Amino acid sequence: MKCSKMTLSAAVVSLLMSSSTVFAADTFKEDHPRRAEVNQREKKQDKRIAEGLKSGKLTQAQANQLQGEEAGVKAQEKAEVKANGGYLTKPEQKQLNQELNQDSKQIHSEKNPTSN
């Protein structure tokens, strides 16, 4: 099969343009405000769990359970992002935030059993 320089050049240019578009889209997706907010909340709650374990306010079993719930939210977020081409819809963000709110309350109640 014989390829002309023009055809080869066109193919290379096309490949470079498509890969740079994909890179730009991936960067935007990671930094998308709805996704960034959910990820920030997940990190904050993971930190609260680690602090509770370190301070002795949480047992290892409690921390494991809470971390499992957080991992479930993260898995759900990843699945939704994958299904939507890298983005979270507003309803998905709302659902994830509701789940994170419940997890946050549970972290608080586990760390502070007398304040219930």
- Does residue 92 sit within a domain? yes
Q: Note the pLDDT of residue 47.
A: 96
- Does residue 29 sit within a domain? no
Q: Note the pLDDT of residue 28.
A: 46
Span 88-98, pLDDT tens digits: 999 999 999 99
- Does residue 2 sit within a domain? no
Give CA torsion, residues 23, 24, 29, 31, to 10 deg.
Answer: 110
Q: What is the full DSSP assignment across 6-50? A: HHHHHHHHHHHHHHHHHHHHHHHHHT-HHHHHHHHHHHHHHHHHH
**What is the helix (H) or strand (E) element at residue 73, kind and residue range?**
helix 60-83
- The token pair at 82 is 């994958």
Q: Are 44 and 52 in contact (CB under 8 A)?
A: no
Domain extent, residue 95, equals 86-111
Structure pTM?
A: 0.71
Q: What is the pLDDT along the chain (116 residues), one digit of tens a residue?
A: 455 554 545 544 454 454 444 444 444 466 788 889 999 999 999 999 999 999 999 999 999 999 999 999 999 999 999 998 888 999 999 999 999 999 999 999 999 988 65
Number of folded domains that form the chain: 1
- Does residue 91 sit within a domain? yes
Span 100-116, pLDDT tens digits: 999 999 999 999 988 65
- Does residue 93 sit within a domain? yes
